[in-house]
A and B are shown apart, each in its own frame.
Chain A
Amino acid sequence: MKSLRFIVPLAIFLVLAGFLAVGLNRDPHMVPSPLIGKPAPAFRLPRLDEPSKLVNRDEMLGKAWVLNVWASWCGPCREEHPHIVAFARTKQVPLVGLNYKDARSDALAWLKEFGNPYDVSLSDLDGRVGIDFGVYGVPETFVIDKLGVIRFKQIGPLTPEVLNTKVVPLLKELNG
Protein backbone atom coordinates (compact mmCIF):
# COMPACT_ATOMS: atom_id res chain seq x y z
CA MET A 1 0.00 0.00 0.00
CA LYS A 2 2.77 2.38 0.86
CA SER A 3 4.35 2.15 -2.57
CA LEU A 4 1.03 3.24 -4.09
CA ARG A 5 1.62 6.69 -2.63
CA PHE A 6 4.55 7.13 -4.95
CA ILE A 7 3.28 5.20 -7.92
CA VAL A 8 -0.03 7.01 -8.28
CA PRO A 9 1.35 10.58 -8.42
CA LEU A 10 4.21 9.37 -10.58
CA ALA A 11 1.78 7.75 -13.00
CA ILE A 12 -0.34 10.90 -13.14
CA PHE A 13 2.76 12.98 -13.73
CA LEU A 14 3.96 10.70 -16.52
CA VAL A 15 0.59 10.76 -18.25
CA LEU A 16 0.52 14.57 -18.07
CA ALA A 17 4.13 14.83 -19.23
CA GLY A 18 3.29 12.50 -22.11
CA PHE A 19 0.37 14.67 -23.22
CA LEU A 20 2.47 17.82 -22.97
CA ALA A 21 5.34 16.23 -24.91
CA VAL A 22 2.99 15.26 -27.72
CA GLY A 23 1.47 18.73 -27.62
CA LEU A 24 4.86 20.40 -27.89
CA ASN A 25 5.81 18.40 -30.94
CA ARG A 26 2.62 19.13 -32.76
CA ASP A 27 2.39 22.09 -35.06
CA PRO A 28 -0.92 23.80 -34.33
CA HIS A 29 -0.86 25.20 -37.84
CA MET A 30 -1.35 21.73 -39.27
CA VAL A 31 -5.09 21.57 -38.94
CA PRO A 32 -6.41 18.26 -40.22
CA SER A 33 -8.60 18.96 -43.20
CA PRO A 34 -12.16 17.67 -43.11
CA LEU A 35 -11.93 17.37 -46.89
CA ILE A 36 -9.71 14.29 -46.91
CA GLY A 37 -11.74 11.42 -48.29
CA LYS A 38 -14.37 13.77 -49.70
CA PRO A 39 -14.91 14.77 -53.32
CA ALA A 40 -12.90 17.82 -54.37
CA PRO A 41 -15.13 20.90 -54.45
CA ALA A 42 -16.46 21.85 -57.85
CA PHE A 43 -14.76 24.76 -59.57
CA ARG A 44 -14.78 26.50 -62.89
CA LEU A 45 -11.85 28.83 -63.31
CA PRO A 46 -10.05 30.67 -66.09
CA ARG A 47 -6.62 29.52 -67.13
CA LEU A 48 -3.86 31.84 -66.02
CA ASP A 49 -2.25 31.87 -69.46
CA GLU A 50 -5.51 32.12 -71.40
CA PRO A 51 -8.23 33.66 -69.22
CA SER A 52 -10.86 33.15 -71.90
CA LYS A 53 -10.60 29.39 -71.43
CA LEU A 54 -12.29 27.88 -68.42
CA VAL A 55 -11.34 24.64 -66.70
CA ASN A 56 -13.72 22.77 -64.44
CA ARG A 57 -13.22 20.04 -61.91
CA ASP A 58 -14.86 17.28 -63.91
CA GLU A 59 -12.34 17.63 -66.74
CA MET A 60 -9.83 16.17 -64.33
CA LEU A 61 -11.82 13.00 -63.58
CA GLY A 62 -10.35 9.69 -64.66
CA LYS A 63 -6.78 10.29 -63.56
CA ALA A 64 -5.02 11.04 -60.32
CA TRP A 65 -3.69 14.59 -60.22
CA VAL A 66 -1.99 17.09 -57.98
CA LEU A 67 -3.30 20.55 -57.18
CA ASN A 68 -0.74 23.01 -55.87
CA VAL A 69 -1.97 26.31 -54.45
CA TRP A 70 0.53 29.08 -55.04
CA ALA A 71 0.88 32.84 -55.39
CA SER A 72 3.61 35.20 -56.46
CA TRP A 73 3.22 37.12 -53.19
CA CYS A 74 3.83 33.99 -51.13
CA GLY A 75 7.34 33.65 -49.72
CA PRO A 76 7.25 29.95 -48.82
CA CYS A 77 6.12 29.21 -52.39
CA ARG A 78 9.56 30.31 -53.54
CA GLU A 79 11.09 27.89 -51.07
CA GLU A 80 8.91 25.08 -52.38
CA HIS A 81 9.22 25.92 -56.04
CA PRO A 82 12.41 24.01 -56.94
CA HIS A 83 10.94 20.84 -55.44
CA ILE A 84 7.76 21.28 -57.45
CA VAL A 85 9.84 21.77 -60.58
CA ALA A 86 11.82 18.60 -59.85
CA PHE A 87 8.61 16.68 -59.17
CA ALA A 88 7.02 17.96 -62.39
CA ARG A 89 10.00 16.69 -64.38
CA THR A 90 9.16 13.13 -63.36
CA LYS A 91 5.84 13.58 -65.22
CA GLN A 92 3.91 11.15 -63.06
CA VAL A 93 0.58 12.94 -62.99
CA PRO A 94 -0.98 16.17 -64.20
CA LEU A 95 0.12 19.05 -61.99
CA VAL A 96 -2.39 21.87 -61.77
CA GLY A 97 -1.55 25.19 -60.13
CA LEU A 98 -4.20 27.17 -58.30
CA ASN A 99 -2.98 30.73 -58.48
CA TYR A 100 -4.53 32.07 -55.31
CA LYS A 101 -5.52 35.73 -55.01
CA ASP A 102 -2.79 36.93 -57.27
CA ALA A 103 -2.51 39.59 -59.96
CA ARG A 104 -2.29 37.89 -63.33
CA SER A 105 0.72 39.89 -64.49
CA ASP A 106 2.62 39.17 -61.25
CA ALA A 107 1.82 35.47 -61.51
CA LEU A 108 2.96 35.23 -65.12
CA ALA A 109 6.16 37.15 -64.35
CA TRP A 110 6.84 34.82 -61.40
CA LEU A 111 6.48 31.72 -63.58
CA LYS A 112 8.69 33.28 -66.24
CA GLU A 113 11.39 34.07 -63.73
CA PHE A 114 11.43 30.83 -61.75
CA GLY A 115 10.12 28.35 -64.32
CA ASN A 116 6.66 26.94 -64.86
CA PRO A 117 6.23 23.38 -63.57
CA TYR A 118 2.44 23.36 -64.03
CA ASP A 119 0.54 21.69 -66.84
CA VAL A 120 -1.96 24.45 -66.29
CA SER A 121 -2.50 27.15 -63.69
CA LEU A 122 -5.96 28.44 -62.83
CA SER A 123 -6.71 31.94 -61.59
CA ASP A 124 -8.61 32.13 -58.33
CA LEU A 125 -8.68 35.92 -58.19
CA ASP A 126 -11.05 36.40 -55.25
CA GLY A 127 -9.99 33.27 -53.34
CA ARG A 128 -13.41 31.60 -53.41
CA VAL A 129 -12.19 28.30 -54.76
CA GLY A 130 -9.43 28.50 -52.16
CA ILE A 131 -12.09 28.77 -49.44
CA ASP A 132 -13.93 25.78 -50.89
CA PHE A 133 -10.70 23.82 -50.63
CA GLY A 134 -10.18 25.05 -47.06
CA VAL A 135 -6.98 26.85 -48.00
CA TYR A 136 -5.53 29.03 -45.26
CA GLY A 137 -1.77 28.86 -45.57
CA VAL A 138 -0.35 29.08 -49.07
CA PRO A 139 1.31 26.97 -50.40
CA GLU A 140 -0.94 23.98 -50.03
CA THR A 141 -1.00 20.82 -52.07
CA PHE A 142 -3.78 18.33 -52.68
CA VAL A 143 -3.61 14.85 -54.18
CA ILE A 144 -6.88 13.98 -55.90
CA ASP A 145 -7.72 10.51 -57.20
CA LYS A 146 -9.41 9.30 -60.39
CA LEU A 147 -12.85 9.64 -58.87
CA GLY A 148 -12.17 13.21 -57.85
CA VAL A 149 -11.73 12.41 -54.15
CA ILE A 150 -9.13 14.33 -52.12
CA ARG A 151 -6.69 11.80 -50.72
CA PHE A 152 -3.94 13.94 -49.23
CA LYS A 153 -3.33 17.52 -48.25
CA GLN A 154 -0.07 19.24 -47.45
CA ILE A 155 -0.25 22.57 -45.66
CA GLY A 156 2.83 24.68 -46.19
CA PRO A 157 5.67 24.00 -48.58
CA LEU A 158 6.31 20.54 -49.97
CA THR A 159 9.71 19.20 -49.08
CA PRO A 160 11.59 16.44 -50.90
CA GLU A 161 10.88 14.29 -47.85
CA VAL A 162 7.10 14.76 -48.03
CA LEU A 163 7.18 14.22 -51.78
CA ASN A 164 9.18 11.01 -51.53
CA THR A 165 7.54 9.49 -48.48
CA LYS A 166 3.93 10.54 -48.97
CA VAL A 167 3.02 12.04 -52.34
CA VAL A 168 4.92 9.75 -54.70
CA PRO A 169 3.93 6.47 -52.96
CA LEU A 170 0.30 7.62 -52.82
CA LEU A 171 0.32 8.47 -56.52
CA LYS A 172 1.81 5.06 -57.32
CA GLU A 173 -0.94 3.42 -55.33
CA LEU A 174 -3.62 5.53 -57.02
CA ASN A 175 -2.29 4.86 -60.48
CA GLY A 176 -1.52 1.20 -59.81
Chain B
Amino acid sequence: MAKWWALLLSCALAAAALGKEAAPAADDPVLEARMQRIAVELRCLVCQNQTIADSHAGLADDLRREIREQLQNGATDEQVVQYMTDRYGDFIRYRPPMRASTLALWVGPIALLVGGLLVLVLVLRRRSRLGPEAFEPEPADDDAGPAKEAS
Protein backbone atom coordinates (compact mmCIF):
# COMPACT_ATOMS: atom_id res chain seq x y z
CA MET B 1 0.00 0.00 0.00
CA ALA B 2 3.05 2.25 0.25
CA LYS B 3 2.71 3.14 -3.37
CA TRP B 4 -0.81 4.48 -2.87
CA TRP B 5 0.53 6.76 -0.21
CA ALA B 6 3.27 7.85 -2.55
CA LEU B 7 0.67 8.50 -5.20
CA LEU B 8 -1.51 10.40 -2.78
CA LEU B 9 1.43 12.47 -1.64
CA SER B 10 2.45 13.27 -5.17
CA CYS B 11 -1.11 14.32 -5.93
CA ALA B 12 -1.16 16.53 -2.86
CA LEU B 13 2.21 18.02 -3.67
CA ALA B 14 1.24 18.67 -7.25
CA ALA B 15 -1.94 20.38 -6.08
CA ALA B 16 -0.07 22.42 -3.49
CA ALA B 17 2.67 23.41 -5.89
CA LEU B 18 0.33 24.65 -8.59
CA GLY B 19 -2.71 25.59 -6.56
CA LYS B 20 -4.83 26.37 -9.57
CA GLU B 21 -6.79 24.51 -12.15
CA ALA B 22 -4.94 23.01 -15.05
CA ALA B 23 -4.36 25.53 -17.79
CA PRO B 24 -7.13 25.38 -20.36
CA ALA B 25 -6.47 25.42 -24.06
CA ALA B 26 -7.97 28.80 -24.74
CA ASP B 27 -8.61 28.51 -28.46
CA ASP B 28 -12.38 28.19 -28.03
CA PRO B 29 -13.56 29.69 -24.73
CA VAL B 30 -17.15 28.46 -25.13
CA LEU B 31 -16.10 24.88 -25.70
CA GLU B 32 -13.51 25.15 -22.97
CA ALA B 33 -16.16 26.33 -20.52
CA ARG B 34 -18.36 23.39 -21.42
CA MET B 35 -15.43 21.05 -21.01
CA GLN B 36 -14.71 22.50 -17.57
CA ARG B 37 -18.33 22.18 -16.56
CA ILE B 38 -18.32 18.49 -17.42
CA ALA B 39 -14.88 17.91 -15.96
CA VAL B 40 -15.81 19.24 -12.50
CA GLU B 41 -18.52 16.58 -12.33
CA LEU B 42 -16.06 13.77 -12.97
CA ARG B 43 -13.75 12.14 -10.48
CA CYS B 44 -10.11 11.66 -11.35
CA LEU B 45 -9.58 7.98 -10.60
CA VAL B 46 -5.88 8.47 -9.99
CA CYS B 47 -6.26 11.20 -7.36
CA GLN B 48 -9.70 10.22 -6.18
CA ASN B 49 -10.59 13.36 -4.28
CA GLN B 50 -9.91 15.61 -7.20
CA THR B 51 -12.07 16.25 -10.19
CA ILE B 52 -10.80 15.78 -13.70
CA ALA B 53 -10.84 19.57 -13.96
CA ASP B 54 -8.49 19.98 -10.95
CA SER B 55 -6.18 17.07 -11.36
CA HIS B 56 -2.75 17.19 -12.90
CA ALA B 57 -2.55 13.43 -13.28
CA GLY B 58 -1.70 12.29 -16.78
CA LEU B 59 -4.99 10.46 -17.06
CA ALA B 60 -6.96 13.61 -16.19
CA ASP B 61 -5.10 15.43 -18.96
CA ASP B 62 -6.02 12.70 -21.39
CA LEU B 63 -9.65 12.69 -20.31
CA ARG B 64 -9.88 16.47 -20.67
CA ARG B 65 -8.50 16.08 -24.17
CA GLU B 66 -11.06 13.38 -24.82
CA ILE B 67 -13.96 15.55 -23.57
CA ARG B 68 -12.73 18.47 -25.67
CA GLU B 69 -12.53 16.36 -28.80
CA GLN B 70 -15.92 14.80 -28.30
CA LEU B 71 -17.52 18.21 -27.81
CA GLN B 72 -15.79 19.43 -30.96
CA ASN B 73 -17.30 16.50 -32.78
CA GLY B 74 -20.75 17.55 -31.64
CA ALA B 75 -21.36 15.24 -28.66
CA THR B 76 -23.85 16.39 -26.04
CA ASP B 77 -22.83 16.73 -22.39
CA GLU B 78 -24.85 13.61 -21.58
CA GLN B 79 -23.06 11.62 -24.26
CA VAL B 80 -19.68 12.60 -22.86
CA VAL B 81 -20.67 11.61 -19.33
CA GLN B 82 -22.06 8.34 -20.67
CA TYR B 83 -18.77 7.71 -22.49
CA MET B 84 -16.92 8.10 -19.19
CA THR B 85 -19.33 5.92 -17.20
CA ASP B 86 -19.15 3.19 -19.84
CA ARG B 87 -15.42 2.94 -19.22
CA TYR B 88 -14.94 3.84 -15.59
CA GLY B 89 -18.32 3.09 -14.00
CA ASP B 90 -20.63 5.28 -11.93
CA PHE B 91 -17.78 5.91 -9.52
CA ILE B 92 -16.35 8.49 -11.91
CA ARG B 93 -19.41 10.68 -11.31
CA TYR B 94 -19.46 12.84 -8.23
CA ARG B 95 -23.24 12.72 -8.38
CA PRO B 96 -24.08 9.08 -9.02
CA PRO B 97 -27.39 8.36 -10.74
CA MET B 98 -30.31 7.15 -8.62
CA ARG B 99 -30.85 3.43 -9.08
CA ALA B 100 -31.43 0.35 -6.95
CA SER B 101 -27.77 -0.02 -5.95
CA THR B 102 -27.38 3.65 -5.02
CA LEU B 103 -30.75 4.05 -3.33
CA ALA B 104 -29.26 3.83 0.17
CA LEU B 105 -26.86 6.61 -0.76
CA TRP B 106 -29.63 8.95 -1.83
CA VAL B 107 -32.37 8.01 0.63
CA GLY B 108 -30.21 6.97 3.60
CA PRO B 109 -29.46 10.41 5.09
CA ILE B 110 -33.07 11.58 4.76
CA ALA B 111 -34.35 8.30 6.24
CA LEU B 112 -31.96 8.63 9.18
CA LEU B 113 -33.00 12.22 9.78
CA VAL B 114 -36.71 11.46 9.61
CA GLY B 115 -36.25 8.37 11.81
CA GLY B 116 -34.30 10.38 14.39
CA LEU B 117 -36.90 13.14 14.49
CA LEU B 118 -39.66 10.56 14.84
CA VAL B 119 -37.97 8.93 17.82
CA LEU B 120 -37.34 12.33 19.38
CA VAL B 121 -40.99 13.35 18.98
CA LEU B 122 -42.21 10.03 20.44
CA VAL B 123 -39.91 10.27 23.45
CA LEU B 124 -40.81 13.88 24.13
CA ARG B 125 -44.52 13.18 23.86
CA ARG B 126 -44.34 10.26 26.25
CA ARG B 127 -42.33 12.28 28.72
CA SER B 128 -44.76 15.17 28.61
CA ARG B 129 -47.52 12.78 29.68
CA LEU B 130 -45.59 11.57 32.75
CA GLY B 131 -46.23 13.04 36.14
CA PRO B 132 -43.44 14.74 38.11
CA GLU B 133 -42.91 11.58 40.24
CA ALA B 134 -41.40 9.82 37.17
CA PHE B 135 -38.41 12.14 37.14
CA GLU B 136 -35.49 12.53 39.43
CA PRO B 137 -36.03 15.16 42.07
CA GLU B 138 -33.96 18.30 42.02
CA PRO B 139 -30.29 17.39 42.47
CA ALA B 140 -30.23 18.22 46.17
CA ASP B 141 -29.45 14.64 47.35
CA ASP B 142 -26.87 13.38 44.90
CA ASP B 143 -26.97 9.68 45.71
CA ALA B 144 -30.62 9.32 44.84
CA GLY B 145 -31.36 6.20 42.80
CA PRO B 146 -31.97 6.30 39.05
CA ALA B 147 -35.24 7.64 37.79
CA LYS B 148 -38.08 5.19 37.76
CA GLU B 149 -38.69 3.76 34.34
CA ALA B 150 -42.08 4.50 32.91
CA SER B 151 -42.23 1.56 30.58
Are B58 and A134 closer than 8 Å at their CB atoms? no
Q: How many residues of B contact A (CB 8 A)?
A: 20
Stretch touching chain A among B12-20, B23-31, B84-92, B128-136: B84-92
Are B3 and A76 closer than 8 Å at their CB atoms? yes
Q: Kindly list chain B residues whose C-beta atoms are within 8 Å of the C-beta of A62.
A: none
Interface status of A75 (Cβ within 8 A of chain B): yes
Main secondary structure of the interface of B (DSSP, over half): helix
Are B4 and A32 closer than 8 Å at their CB atoms? no
Q: Which residue in chain A gives the minimum CB-CB distance to B65?
A: A126
Chain A 1-39, CB-CB to B under 8 Å as 1, else 0, gives 110010000000000000000000001110111110000
Are B91 and A132 closer than 8 Å at their CB atoms? no
Most buried by A among B86, B87, B151: B87
Chain B 40-70, CB-CB to A under 8 Å as 1, else 0, gives 0000011010000000001100110010000
Q: Kindly list chain B residues whose C-beta atoms are within 8 Å of the C-beta of A126.
A: 62
Which listed residue, B4, B48, B62, B88, touches A134 by the CB 8 Å rule?
B88
Which listed residue, B1, B3, B45, B151, touches A31 by the CB 8 Å rule?
B45
Main secondary structure of the interface of A (DSSP, over half): loop
Q: Kindly list chain B residues whose C-beta atoms are within 8 Å of the C-beta of A104.
A: none
Interface status of A142 (Cβ within 8 A of chain B): no
Q: A31-B88, A34-B85, A34-B86 are in contact. Are A136 and B151 (CB under 8 A)?
A: no
Are A34 and B89 closer than 8 Å at their CB atoms? yes
Interface status of A44 (Cβ within 8 A of chain B): no
Interface status of A101 (Cβ within 8 A of chain B): yes
CB A35 to nearest CB in B, in angstroms, measures 7
CB A80 to nearest CB in B, in angstroms, measures 12
Q: Which residue in chain B gives the minimum CB-CB distance to A32?
A: B89
Which listed residue, B3, B59, B91, touches A75 by the CB 8 Å rule?
B3
CB A98 to nearest CB in B, in angstroms, measures 15
Interface status of B149 (Cβ within 8 A of chain A): yes
Are A34 and B48 closer than 8 Å at their CB atoms? no
- A-B contacts besides A133-B87, A136-B59, 13 pairs, CB < 8 Å: A2-B151, A5-B151, A28-B48, A31-B88, A31-B89, A32-B89, A33-B88, A33-B89, A34-B88, A126-B62, A128-B66, A131-B66, A131-B87
Which residues of A are interface residues toward B (Cβ below 8 A)?
A: 1-2, 5, 27-29, 31-35, 75-76, 101, 126-128, 131-134, 136-137
